[in-house]
Structure 1
């Protein structure tokens, strides 16, 4: 794929020091766009050049979610494009287990309490030990989450597009068997990409099949869950609760019922905290530059047809 010489990488739109260091660490050299065979881009599609040289064989994007790039028509079939999928998996997995445990163990109301209410709270505190947790869209985030769930004594049911067994999962199902999951699992972590096919993936029929103690955690995109249907289920108590780092709409407006429902936990899209993003992306870039130099399969290759 690449020559034996150091790959020539253009870093744009500016020379971000951490990304420049990552490129060099991966064995690349920084060059102007006209001399490059690959591009590492550090901002959104609105800053990307209208045209890039035909010699560019690979473009690395800075985000795991690439919907804006697809919507802008930037991603083409003339070269390989990669996202940052997997770069932030560890942080998001850590946030996911925190939110799941906070929900199952009824943490929100206990933190707000100003008196000792043991008799009231004790019956509400649950556990994930012995439960089945379904990871819907078990890619990099799901794989990073599995060890946390295993350490907590939970059984993991993974759902992927192909159904190829996921290491560490007790069972893996293909996406075309997703309907089986809602009644089989106790809790759910949503980590699937946002595409036309996954819009409102979880709606009234799916919520109705969950148990009254089920918690659903969404760390992917808000559009994967029908918000109105979720609010109705939470109000009716037909599921245990929802822990959301992403919402639809986003930002979640002031006064929205999700802010005050006692069985809803909201964090403002901070599973990937800004403090950790630059270093994580630099490490991802370093790995992909090294793979490009060696002619190996790149991480996070985008399928424009699938939408991620």
Structure 2
């Protein structure tokens, strides 16, 4: 058995397409690494017409992917380089009899580090300190012993739970699946969120964006948080109702926010979140270009091996869940 893998766009068409997720490496530099990953996994790099597997690098064009699969019915597996695939899910392309896998979990290490950094920065008022052009003593708040609630139970949450261990935090994870997240004090279903929020000092969003999770944190949820709470988002901007967040900060409903993602994104010049000294925005840069490229190539290599061995693939997308 062979694993014949194509990469789209082709080398000839690659120049017309943009960035791969948060990576600014151009396609010409990425392609050799992906081709090597396919070969290391035991696969064969082939043109699209000969492929039974496809690495899809074209962002934001689900209709083009659908047309490609229609024209090449031998393709039974598609690998995406991103963790978030909400545009493809909304298009209905996942309804095809094809196995789709994405990069969910691949970038958890750096993203969890970023979430921890944002939480510490919020608790210690680093944004205010950095913006004040003078001596500005502010009492810090410690992360030790804080009550942390993580929305999402995937790779980022699992890694963040591990990073929080030395701080002695009480960690609750809210996730759709019932399996317990190792190291968390509690793993709870989504309906438990309203009961947990009043007992939350740090709320971290690390979940997939679906129609059900859009604005999962809005005015009602923010109102349930205690006034000392901080909100950290390293997932998707649309998880938070931005207008409600601005109002909650203005009213003192919460104390601070650390945002690697925003809605809209990029956050427009002049938006009130830019001027708020309690808010730290890091412009969707939780993971580096080199790290993304390296982790993705490792995922491709392992999945090609898994395909050849008949083992389950990593990062398989659940069409019903949309991620």
Give the corresponding residue for 1:234: 249
Unaligned runs of 5+ in 1: none
Give the corresponding residue for 2:198: 183
- The answer to whether 1:287 aligns with 2:302 is yes
- Residue 141 of structure 1 and its aligned partner are, at CA, apart by 0.8
Q: Work out which of the residue numbers 11, 26, 50 in structure 1 matches 2:7.
A: 11
- Residue 68 of structure 1 and its aligned partner are, at CA, apart by 2.0
Give the corresponding residue for 1:255: 270
Measure, in 2, the Cα distance between the counterparts of 1:45 and 1:29.
27
- The answer to whether 1:90 aligns with 2:109 is yes
| RMSD of aligned alpha carbons | 1.6
Give the corresponding residue for 1:41: 56
- The answer to whether 1:246 aligns with 2:261 is yes
Measure, in 2, the Cα distance between the counterparts of 1:14 and 1:266.
36
Q: Deviations over 1:223-279 (max 9, x none)?
A: 111111110110111111111111111111111100011211111111123342211
SS in structure 2 opposite 1:68? helix
Give the corresponding residue for 1:51: 68
- Residue 43 of structure 1 and its aligned partner are, at CA, apart by 2.2
Unaligned runs of 5+ in 2: 12-30
- Residue 151 of structure 1 and its aligned partner are, at CA, apart by 2.1
Q: Does structure 1 retain, via aligned residues, the 8 Å contact 2:131–2:277?
A: no
- Residue 49 of structure 1 and its aligned partner are, at CA, apart by 6.5
Moved more, 133-142 or 25-34: 25-34
Measure, in 1, the Cα distance between the counterparts of 2:196 and 2:41.
41
Find runs of 4+ consecutive structure 1 residues off by over 6 angstroms: none
Q: Deviations over 1:154-176 (max 9, x none)?
A: 22111110231111111111123
Q: Does structure 2 retain, via aligned residues, the 8 Å contact 1:43–1:62?
A: no
Measure, in 1, the Cα distance between the counterparts of 2:306 and 2:60.
24
Equivalence map 1:165-180=2 (5 Å): 165-180=180-195
TM-score normalised by L of structure 1:
0.92
Measure, in 2, the Cα distance between the counterparts of 1:40 and 1:159.
32
Give the corresponding residue for 1:112: 131
Matched positions, count = 300
Measure, in 2, the Cα distance between the counterparts of 1:94 and 1:51.
37
